[in-house]
Amino acid sequence: MRPSKPVMPPMDNHTLLAQDRQYVWHPYSNISPDNPLFAVESAEACTLHLANGQRVIDGMSSWWSTIHGYNHPTLNAAVSEQLSKMAHVMFGGLTHEPAVRLAKQLVEMTPKGLDRVFFADSGSIAVEVACKMALQYWIGKKQPEKSRFLAFEGGYHGDTFGTMSVCDPHNGMHGLFAGRLANNDFLPRPLPVFDTNITTSRSTCTLEDQHTHLGALKKHIQSNAKHLAAVIIEPTVQNAGGMYFYSPEYLKQLKILCEEYDVLLIADEIATGFGRTGKLFGCDHAGLSPDIMCLGKALTGGYMTLAATLCSDDIAQTISQSEASVLMHGPTFMGNPLACATANASLSILKEGHWLKQVSGIEQQLKEQLTALKDHEAVADTRVLGAIGVIELKQAVEMKTLQPFIVEQGIWLRPFGKLLYTMPPYIIQQEELQKITRGMAACLDFHMAS
Ligand code: PMP
């Protein structure tokens, strides 16, 4: 055993924040010293312990990933046990038990027809890999002209260049990088949900509207099939592009059209996977088996970064037998053993099955408590699906003032644009969730007053 290095003395909150402001760049932000910022010292179950002594209930699951809560004994044990063997080893030419176990588990638990797993190191990379798989598949089929993707307005699939090219075409990323992104096809987002089991306070669309919308989808796929490699969609919920729910019927029809016109279907389940929408996968609402599926976020129970792209045997065989003969991707930290071992532990917790009751309890409570806010003057819509509760405001929030106010309420939320929402850990207790929904109500008043 090598001697361990002396532990560094802890930084006080003031120094930590000052050095952060001096050296660090945070996500989707500028380096202004005025951005509200809070240091976290530790976290336990659903509570973040801030370095300033405050305790806040986490309504975000650390960007939708920490489904079992923080500092979970099973996940901690999995990390420690794996760490005592090896933290990492390259995946080219080598393999290890955590990765093999995880691939097997993922194939077994995802919809039928997903037979092969490629591990990636983040959600965006899993989507990049999915797109490469689709392109290489058609090259292998000697139809290289099938090279475009059909995506949806309001969709979000990541921040890398390939993924940005299939994100919503009107938001900042496309505008900012215009001319530098691949050209793809876009259709309007699927219409809002008309299923009665998904609650939204806004009037829902009629079957006739849905029919017209599906007609446009069919027309597009029919006339562009020659050039389309794949359709990419977030099943049932568009997440970062608007926390927007739509009809599973649309997905069912999309799958039928993809099969009819020989276009692959990529399901981006990075946000919806592992129970968040009340079913294990968003695709399950439609009984759908995509050709390619991307997983990430909750895969490791939110412990560390890991993602996976699953595909059918046909895709894997076609690429392997193509002229290139290999899938052109291989991240350094592919199949990281620590991450795979943690993911296996997270899946074993999911397999115990408590998540179903937990998520439906959260859904019930959110429906009651958020729907009660639908007539607030600041509110355009409230909607709930599984462990996702959304208040859509009429005006965008002012984060500089709202974020500290949220923390004052003893909760942690990270609204964006017009969306004040929660995606709590599945283990959240009723009183904790009530604190979050009360805090959301207080945010509405604060938003109106400022
Ligand atoms: N796809 C979807 C649906 C997502 O929600 C996200 C992340 N919010 C991504 C892809 C990208 O994942 P990552 O941030 O891990 O790159």
Of 61, 49, 75, the C-alpha closest to 427 is 61
Q: Does 239 sit in the ligand 1 pocket, CB within 6 Å?
A: yes
Residue in this structure with the two tokens 């990075």, named with its chain if needed = 270
HSE, side-chain direction, 13 A CA sphere, residue 19: 7
Tens digits of pLDDT across the chain (450 residues): 566 666 788 899 999 999 999 999 999 999 999 999 999 999 999 999 999 999 999 999 999 999 999 999 999 999 999 999 999 999 999 999 999 999 999 999 999 999 999 999 999 999 999 999 999 999 999 999 999 999 999 999 999 999 999 999 998 677 889 889 999 999 999 987 656 556 666 656 777 777 888 899 999 999 999 999 999 999 999 999 999 999 898 999 999 999 999 999 999 999 999 999 999 999 999 999 999 999 999 999 999 999 999 999 999 999 999 999 999 999 999 999 999 999 999 999 999 999 999 999 999 999 999 999 999 999 999 999 999 999 999 999 999 999 999 999 999 999 999 999 999 999 999 999 999 999 999 999 999 998
Q: State how far the Cα of 372 lies from the Cα of 374, in Å rounded to an integer.
A: 6
Phi-psi region of 403 (alpha: psi -120 to 50; beta: other; left: phi over 0): alpha
Q: State how far the Cα of 410 lies from the Cα of 435, in Å rounded to an integer.
A: 8
Q: State how far the Cα of 375 lies from the Cα of 378, in Å rounded to an integer.
A: 8
Q: State how far the Cα of 336 lies from the Cα of 415, in Å rounded to an integer.
A: 32
**Which residues are 118's β-sheet partners?**
309
Q: What's the pTM value of the predicted model, to 2 decimals?
A: 0.97
Element (H, E) at 50: strand 47-50
Of 150, 339, 127, the C-alpha closest to 230 is 150
Mutate to test the pocket of ligand 1, among 61, 122, 124 (most ligand atoms within 8 A of CB): 124
Q: Does 158 sit in the ligand 1 pocket, CB within 6 Å?
A: yes
Q: How far is CA 388 from CA 11, 163, 274, in A?
A: 36, 24, 13
Tokens of 211: 């029919």
Atom of ligand 1 nearest to the CA of 239: 5
Q: Does 124 sit in the ligand 1 pocket, CB within 6 Å?
A: yes
Report CA 254 to chain centroid distance, whole Å: 21
* DSSP-based helix, strand, coil % in the chain, nearest 5: 40, 15, 45
Atom of ligand 1 nearest to the CA of 63: 8
Separation of 123 CA from ligand 1 center, angstroms? Answer: 5
Q: Provide φ and ψ at 311, rounded to 5°.
A: -145, 170
* Residues acting as catalytic residues: 28, 156, 268, 297
Q: State how far the Cα of 290 lies from the Cα of 22, in Å rounded to an integer.
A: 46
Q: Does 121 sit in the ligand 1 pocket, CB within 6 Å?
A: no
* Helices assigned H by DSSP within 56-178: 61-64, 73-83, 97-109, 123-140, 161-164, 172-176
**Closest Cα to atom 8, ligand 1: which residue?**
240
Tokens of 112: 């039928």
Residue 95: partners with Cβ closer than 8 Å, 6 or more residues away: 335
Tokens of 344: 């296996």
Q: Return the sign of the alpha-carbon dihedral for residues 114, 115, 116, 121.
A: positive
